[in-house]
């Protein structure tokens, strides 16, 4: 197993050299890092980690989510990310991904859900901070077609 580090730094430049596919997919992985999703998944799945030198189970989960968002359908589709180490860094092997999925119990699943909720909250907070407000969304009670809500930071 290889240790999971940060993803490689990418530089965008013109000229057609070093062209990579899936650069947009890399943005999803970066978004997971920026919103804290990757760290939250790491915290939720940390107890599942069998040895310190191996892949971080949280990073494996993020890589699987990125693979699914990119159109992957099976764990074997992680090869698409794995085959571009200059873009995605070290991506877990298929057996490692299977072990992570197989070891997720109800407690770990609850932790993943909590991490996802926290990351979603962070993403909305960052959007609010940069653009001054949240977009309108449907009301849960369906009384009115649309209403706006605001994000309030936790104390």
CA distance 50 to 69: 27
Residue pair 151/125 in contact by the 8 Å Cβ criterion: yes
The tens digit of pLDDT for each residue in 57-107 reads 999 999 999 999 999 999 999 999 999 888 898 999 999 999 999 999 999
What separation in angstroms does the CA of 2 have from each of 45, 70, 75, 132? 17, 24, 18, 42
Least confident of 34-43, 58-67, 131-140: 131-140
For the chain, give every domain's residue range. Answer: 23-131
């Amino acid at each position: 197993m290889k240790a999971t580090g940060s993803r490689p730094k990418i530089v965008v430049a013109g000229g057609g050299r070093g062209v990579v596919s899936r650069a947009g997919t890399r943005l999803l992985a970066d978004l997971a890092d920026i919103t804290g999703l990757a760290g939250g998944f790491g915290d939720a799945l940390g107890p599942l980690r069998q040895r310190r030198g191996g892949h971080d189970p949280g990073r494996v989960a993020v890589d699987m989510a990125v693979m699914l968002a990119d159109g992957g359908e099976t764990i074997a589709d992680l090869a698409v990310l794995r085959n571009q180490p200059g873009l995605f860094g070290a991506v877990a092997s298929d057996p490692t991904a299977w072990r992570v999925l197989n070891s997720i119990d109800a407690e770990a699943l609850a932790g993943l859900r909590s991490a996802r909720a926290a990351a979603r909250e962070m993403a909305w907070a960052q959007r609010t901070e940069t653009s001054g407000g949240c977009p309108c969304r449907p009301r849960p009670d369906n009384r009115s077609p649309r209403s706006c809500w605001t994000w309030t930071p936790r104390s």
